[in-house]
Structure 1
């Protein structure tokens, strides 16, 4: 199957993650993810030589390509996720256009402009996947699935290509706290691996957030205005005062690169009780721990000010920086293989810090060091998402090259 048709076929299945279902412990959180998994399984079964093809009840799909050479080689895995973000829930109507320059009119009043997307100039005279302006494209992360599956197809149809053992896994609900990766929990699946879950061609991620969150519940006391003086304790105003304790410039809208932040993510309630959700992010372990301590001290100061029953709180870790798990021999091998694969395909590696999380952070913490390779797409989580076809092909070529270089022993 052509990689173009493979990707378009995946986009036709609506796999929008369902936040409420995920919060209730349902996995996969949306039926489309199970449907896409079934399609992938049927395609895997059509490829000669694959073994251990499995579709778990929680939606996770796995398969193995056994080694076809006798050398004692490490097992490498490639990961993608089945779901798409919940920013837009409609079905995807993707098409492939030939881009000749200028703005791209998607329809329904949506336009991808060169002014906002100057990198479009790099893709002049290329075929590009776009939406009709009403939905996400879903290249995050169906481009990864297409790239990995195309690489498997190439290897299984040409047995002359020598390779060690290769494993693939596609997991649900990455878009809501890396739930599928957390459920995967198979540390002996591979020696190391790669996710394909970052953007434009050449991008490479080997660090992301240390991430956690805090939930603070402010306990007020309601009262009628006739006798509210001295009796009303407005939890909304307490929350407002609490938020004012945080540095205003250490927020997502005021930071970039490797700068951490506090994100006042959600606030809801009434005068009697208000709940505040805060995301806590930092790239360094030290910075992350400092931020958690800051939240803890803010809570304690409020307890001292308003009384011991004014609030309750919980601070919890969510995922770690993948770089915490790459500073060893196997992690360095994974990084060097990727570097060599990019170079062999004439791709300039652009190492970027990911201001977010990805499944590889969880896989790494669970024993599979896992940096992150580009899919080729741009504008994730937006109706302006687009994917140049040559970039998608390049992602698949990088996957194939990593696999062959392991067999060659050319990873020094």
Structure 2
């Protein structure tokens, strides 16, 4: 099967992550993820891979055995099964040959992708693009990654004369809501020495740096009272929360920051005058900056409690994931070097970039499996304007092939 047909087949399975089921602890959170995992399992079996395991959480692993007696490190590749919850409709992908200008996604509904809004289209004039019909995500995040991995496996099965070490693959659910599949993944029993996820954007992008990430919950407890007798008695927890938010550093929010600038993100506020809960995300690229932000919130909560009374403010701080860079320094940096060499062999310029977000490799790295993040070739993740140049999809698979070859050579 060619790589484009593979990808299109995967997009026809609706694997939209379910935040409700995820919050209830259900994994996979949506039935389509298991359907896709079962399909991949059958394809892996048809390719003749070994040690194929699909567990109750829809975590799928398999092994392509080495064809050499040399002692070589075990390389592995990961992609996630789910797609983001921003759009829930079934994907109706189609291919357009791009000659410039706006892209018509859906003539009947008059939905277009305007060049003025997406000038990166100019980089793909004369190429075939896989696009949506404007009513759903494309699902290249991360089905393009899955297709590239499967194509790489197919290549090595078809070319057994090419020396390779052991190659392992993993497909995990529910990346789109807190990297849940990676957190449940058993790195020790997997048995790989290093890994790559395929979960970033346009051709050439390469990520080995992302956030240190934390979750914060602040609870404000007030005192309700009837307005007839509220003077001196009513303590409005909603106003406490708003005053707390107003004391956050100005300009240090997602809408004001870029590059390596960290932030406090006020994400959810629920409650009434008696009790209000504030949920926040904290992000910073450096360990010191991240710790400073978490300490600042802890001290702010303590100061507010002193001002408003004992028990009026409680705070819970939790680490979500670390910057993958922490796990790719010194002797552990070799996966970065191998990937850069693979890009060069494929004639692809490396566009190293810090990811203002998380990916499964951050969790896997924290568990002891060094894991940078490779491009899939797609653009505009989580959007009806998501598109995937066919040439870039082929390039993603080519990079995987070269990584395996270089690992054997070194």
Equivalent residue for 1:88? 87
User: Following the alignment from structure 1 to structure 2, what is the Cα–Cα distance between the partners of residues 106 and 271?
Assistant: 48
Q: Does 1:171 align with 2:172?
A: yes
| Equivalent in 188, 201, 204 of residue 203 of structure 2 | 201
Verify: 1:46 aligned to 2:46, yes or no.
yes
In 1, Cα distance between the equivalents of 2:131 and 2:99?
14
Aligned partner of 2:18 in structure 1 is 18
In the alignment, the residues of structure 2 paired with residue 2 and residue 307 of structure 1 have an alpha-carbon distance, to the nearest angstrom, of: 66
Residue among 251, 271, 274 paired with 1:272 = 274
Aligned-residue RMSD, C-alpha: 0.9
Q: Distance in 1 between matches of 2:293 and 2:112?
A: 39
Q: Does 1:398 align with 2:379?
A: no
Q: Partners of 1:32 and 1:231 in 2: how far apart? A: 53
How far off its partner does 1:185 sit? 2.7
Distance across 2 between alignment mates of 1:32 and 1:401: 32
- Provide the C-alpha distance between the structure 1 equivalents of 2:127 and 2:95, rounded to a whole number of angstroms: 10
The match for 1:247 among 246, 249, 264 is: 249
Match of 2:385 in 1: 384
Note the C-alpha offset of 1:109: 4.2
How far the C-alpha of 1:166 sits from its partner, in A, is 0.2
User: Residue in 1 aligned with 2:103?
Assistant: 104
Q: 2:291 aligns with which of 289, 292, 309?
A: 289
Q: Contact 1:110 / 1:384 at 8 angstroms: preserved in 2?
A: no
CA distance in 2, matches of 1:266, 1:43: 42
- How far apart, in 2, do the equivalents of 1:387 and 1:175 lie? 19
Using the alignment, how far apart are the partners of 1:171 and 1:351 within structure 2?
25
1:358 CA drift (Å): 0.2
Give the structure 2 partner of residue 318 of structure 1. Answer: 320
Counterpart of 2:71 in structure 1 is 72
SS of 1:175's equivalent in the other structure is coil
Deviations 1:44-95, CA, capped at 9 Å, x for gaps: 01003x1001111000010000000111100000000000010111111111
* Cα separation, 1, equivalents of 2:89 and 2:253: 31
Aligned counterparts of 1:135 and 1:269: Cα–Cα separation in 2: 33
Cα pair 1:263 1:280 within 8 Å, conserved: yes
Distance 1:339 1:126 in 2: 25
Question: What are the superposed Cα offsets for residues 105-136 of structure 1, whole Å, 9 maximum, x if unpaired?
Answer: 21234322211211111101111110000110
4+ residue stretches of structure 1 with deviation over 3 A?
none
Deviation at 1:315, TM superposition (A): 0.4
Superimposed CA distance per residue, residues 281-337 of structure 1 (whole angstroms, 9 cap, x where no aligned partner) = 0000000000000100110011100011112220000000000000132x3211110
User: Matched residue of 1:43: which SS?
Assistant: helix
Task: For residues 257-303 of structure 1, give each alpha carbon's deviation from its aligned partner in whole angstroms, at most 9, with x where no partner exists.
Answer: 00000000111111111110010000000000000001001100111
Unpaired stretches in structure 1, ≥5 consecutive residues: none
Residues 206-245 of structure 1 aligned to structure 2 (within 5 Å) = 206-245=208-247
Contact 1:210 1:285 in 2 (8 A): yes
1:185–1:363 contact (8 Å) kept in structure 2: no
Structure-1 separation of matches of 2:30 and 2:87? 14
Aligned partner of residue 173 in structure 1, secondary structure: coil
Residue 33 of structure 1 deviates from its aligned partner by 0.3
SS at match of 2:216: strand
CA distance in structure 2 between the partners assigned to 1:81 and 1:234 by the alignment = 44
- Separation of aligned partners in 2, 1:262 and 1:186: 31
